[in-house]
Amino acid sequence: MDSIKAIEALGALAQNTRLDVFKLLVRHEPAGLPAGEIAKRLQVPQNTMSSHLSILSHAGLVSSRRDSRLIIYRARLAEMNALIAFLLENCCSGDECTPLANQLERLCK
């Protein structure tokens, strides 16, 4: 991941509703959720949710597919992994990384 993509992804997540959308979609992997269901669960008007989903999609953090009349959204976990790797790439070395490495290992089991 390059700096421009990382900034775009971080910017997309730097808003409460979009962060909530991403977290909701992660919890519903791999099936995903229809746009209307996302809006309903987060109590956000559908037209507003459409804008949030568009921003997340443009940043590469969510994907969508049509299923009849529904648009199903999914979190793009590979992109999130790439973003985390980008952030950690030059941040960790030596003993300073041990607490973070332990926490990541625990969370990823």
Kindly state the helix (H) or strand (E) to which residue 74 belongs, with its residue range.
strand 70-75
pLDDT digits (tens, 9 = 90+) for 1-22: 899 999 999 999 999 999 999 9
Q: Are 63 and 79 in contact (CB under 8 A)?
A: no
Three-state SS annotation for 49-62: HHHHHHHHHHCCCE
Nearest alpha-carbon partner for 28 in 73, 84, 79: 73
Nearest Cα neighbor of 41 from 16, 21, 22, 71 is 21
pTM higher than 0.85: yes
Confidence label for 92 from pLDDT (cuts 50, 70 and 90): low
**Burial (CB count <10 Å: 0-12, 13-18, 19+), residue 22:** buried
Identify the structural domains of the chain with CATH numbers, from first to last.
Answer: 3-107 (1.10.10.10)
Nearest alpha-carbon partner for 76 in 66, 64, 61: 61
What is the structure's pLDDT at 56?
98
pLDDT at 23 over 70: yes
